[in-house]
Amino acid sequence: MGVSTSANTAGGDREVATQSLNRELQDKGFLLTSTEDIINWARNGSLHWMTFGLACCAVEMMHTSMPRYDLERFGTAPRATPRQSDLMIVAGTLTNKMAPALRKVYDQMPEPRYVISMGSCANGGGYYHYSYSVVRGCDRVVPVDIYVPGCPPTAEALLYGI
C-alpha cells in the first residue's frame, strides 16, 4: 500500500499531507522524518569528544579511556576529527604557534560545541606562564566551558569536569 503526495503542493498543504501520512503509517512501524533529525536525535544522548593533547596532561586524559575509568561507559566516545565532535579537551601548554591550529579545530566543530581546559598550563599558562611563547590560558583563543585545575589533574578530576 503506498501513499503519494503531489510534489508541487503549497507549504500548508504539504504539512497537512505529511500529518495525515504520519497518522496512517504510525501503527505500521514506519517513521517519517529527515536524516538530519535522526542524526540530531542520536547526538543528543551521547557526547563525542576529541583530544587536543599538548603536554603531560594528555597522559592523564588518556587514563580516562582505560579500563579503570572507561569514559565510554557514560555514553561518550572519542573521535579523531572535529567534525564529529561535541567536546574538545585542551590538555597542556598552548603556545603562540599552536593557537591558530586550536582555533581552526574549534571552528570545524559543529554546534553545540564545548571546551574543557584541563590543567594549569591550559587554564593560565601554568609553570611556563612567563615564557614569551606561551598563551596564558586557552580561553584567550576559544571560549572555555569547564576548567579542570591541577598539575597534572587526575583522571578523576577530568571525569568530575565532564
* Top-confidence residue, 19 or 97: 97
H helices present in the chain, as ranges = 11-25, 35-44, 57-63, 99-108, 120-124, 155-161
The domains of the chain, with CATH numbers, are: 7-44 (no CATH), 46-161 (3.40.50.12280)
What is the reported pTM? 0.70
pLDDT of residue 1: 43
User: Could you give the strand order of the β-sheet that contains 76-78, starting from the edge strand earlier in sequence?
Assistant: 76-78, 47-53, 87-91, 114-118, 146-148
Q: Is the pLDDT of residue 97 over 90?
A: yes
Residues 6+ away with beta carbon under 8 Å from 94:
54, 102, 121, 122, 134, 135, 137, 138, 141
